[in-house]
Structure formats: C-alpha cells, structure tokens
C-alpha cells in the first residue's frame, strides 16, 4: 500500500505577519512530486492571507493549529470549526501535547473536537505521544493506546479513516533529541496495529501516520524511509524556508 506522504509545518506561536507572509511566499513556489503533500499550520491571525497566497500551488494547503470543542458560544478568544470551514481551512491539529499539557485539554474535549472538525468537512490530525518517564519505564505503548482509545478510537469506523495520526514523543519535541528511525518505526507500526485491531486492515493500511519530534534535514530522509512513517509534523525547522524545503525533498 502506497500512502501519500505529508510534510506539515506547525509554526506554533511564532513569526510576525510580515515574516509569516514572506515564509509562505517562499514555500508557495516549491515544486513537489505527486506522492507528497505539504501543509502549513500558521497562527490563526494569518490563516486567511496565507491560504490565498498558496492557493496556486496544488501541493500546498493550510491548516489550523486548534479549534474549540464547542460548536459556538461565549468562549472569548476561541475559534470554532465552523469558522475555519468558512475560511476554507481543510485540516486542523487536535490534541497536540502542548495543548494537552498547558491548556489541560481532556480526552472528552478532544473527542468533541474530532467530531466537530469532521462534521465541518475538516480533516483532523490527531496527535499522540508519551512523556519521557513512560518511555524510560517501558510503559509508552500502553500510554499511546490509552490516548487513542479514549478519543480517536471512539469515532465511527466510517469517519476514523478520514483522519491523520501524528505520533509525537513529548521527550523529542523541541529538545533536539529525535527518536531513532527504529524507535519511530516501532511506534508507528504499533499504532497501525491498534487501528487494524479496532477498525480492520483496510483502514489501517490507508491511514497516514506522521512522526513529529525534532525533525530536521539531516534526519528526515532516514525517518521517512521507514515503512510505517508517512511523513512528518515539523516544528522549529518549519520556520526556516531552507530547512523546511530540505525536509520536503528528503
């Protein structure tokens, strides 16, 4: 089974408007083979402008870093899935470790976000990953299974196949430490096996699983060569056009 590779850049809370438009403008000019898709996740403020800027490049699309778990209401400062749809945003990150950690997002909220995104024809990218203490204790497979079973795996089988999974070991996010290609492959294969057990082989073989955690030009090729690694969710390196383009072509 050949799955399209996704190389996604999560800009997080970085870049001024001028910097963001300049970076997006550079990336809008790249030529990407048909077996790859490039995604950018800018801050909310820039979504509309950047989406228009990159529209001419069919291989490049724009997603949101988050959406609220309620459909609408008195939630000052929040963004709904319906708002994203009205701006023609095609995908959204759900459950990033930084959202779980700093904003105390619960599994119940993440499940609600998944459903709202799907109901608005927005593809969720569901993030999962273990902290260092679970990796060192050898309990990381159970930790990941718990994250999946309490949110993503509660979706209807007809819709779970429309999602993307991003495996991001928390100990490798922004630390400069990267999971080895063998560690990444082991966990991606494990996640795919869980999908197979829950939803069947067809969905498991087709669902895309991305690796996130200090992906850089010098390790991207090795990581992406693993059979169950379908691309990367890139953090810091996506803020540099030179580095991100190198990762895209890795």
Per annotation, catalytic residue among 68, 91, 96, 188:
96
Task: Based on DSSP, count helices (H) and strands (E) in the chain, helices before strands.
Answer: 12, 8
Alpha-carbon distances of 1 from 6, 203, 204, 208, 228, rounded to whole Å: 15, 11, 10, 11, 10
> Which structure tokens are listed for 242?
């030179």
Non-local CB neighbours of 8 within 8 Å, separated by 6+ positions: 38, 39, 40, 41, 63, 125, 166, 210, 231, 232, 233, 234, 238
Q: Residues in the chain, how many?
A: 250
CA distance 189 to 194: 9
Per annotation, catalytic residue among 98, 140, 168, 188:
168
CA distance 22 to 240: 11
DSSP 27-69: HTT----TTEEEEEE--GGGHHHHHHHHTT-TTEEEEES---S
Q: Is 142 a catalytic residue?
A: no
Q: Is 188 a catalytic residue?
A: no
Residues with catalytic roles? 96, 168
């Amino acid at each position: 089974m050949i799955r399209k590779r996704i190389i996604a850049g999560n800009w997080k809370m970085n870049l001024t408007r001028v910097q963001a438009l300049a970076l997006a403008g550079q990336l809008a000019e790249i030529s990407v083979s048909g077996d790859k898709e490039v995604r950018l996740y800018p801050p909310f403020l820039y979504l509309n402008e950047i989406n228009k800027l990159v529209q001419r490049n069919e291989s490049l699309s724009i997603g949101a870093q988050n959406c609220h778990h309620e459909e609408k209401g008195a939630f000052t400062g929040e963004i709904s899935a319906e708002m994203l749809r009205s701006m023609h945003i095609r995908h959204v990150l759900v459950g990033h470790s930084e959202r779980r950690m700093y904003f105390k997002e619960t599994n119940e909220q993440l499940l609600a976000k998944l459903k709202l995104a799907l109901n608005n024809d927005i593809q969720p990218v569901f993030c999962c990953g273990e902290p260092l203490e679970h990796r060192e204790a050898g309990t990381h497979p159970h930790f990941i299974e718990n994250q999946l079973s309490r949110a993503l795996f509660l979706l209807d089988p007809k819709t779970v196949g429309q999602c993307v999974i991003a495996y991001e070991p928390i100990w490798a996010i922004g630390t400069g430490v990267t999971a080895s290609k063998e560690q990444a492959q082991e966990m991606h294969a494990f996640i795919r096996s869980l999908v197979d057990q829950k939803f069947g082989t067809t969905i498991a073989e087709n669902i895309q699983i991305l690796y996130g955690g200090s992906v850089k030009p010098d390790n991207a090729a090795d990581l992406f060569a693993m059979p169950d690694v379908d691309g990367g969710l890139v953090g810091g390196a996506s803020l540099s056009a030179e580095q991100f383009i190198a990762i895209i072509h890795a």
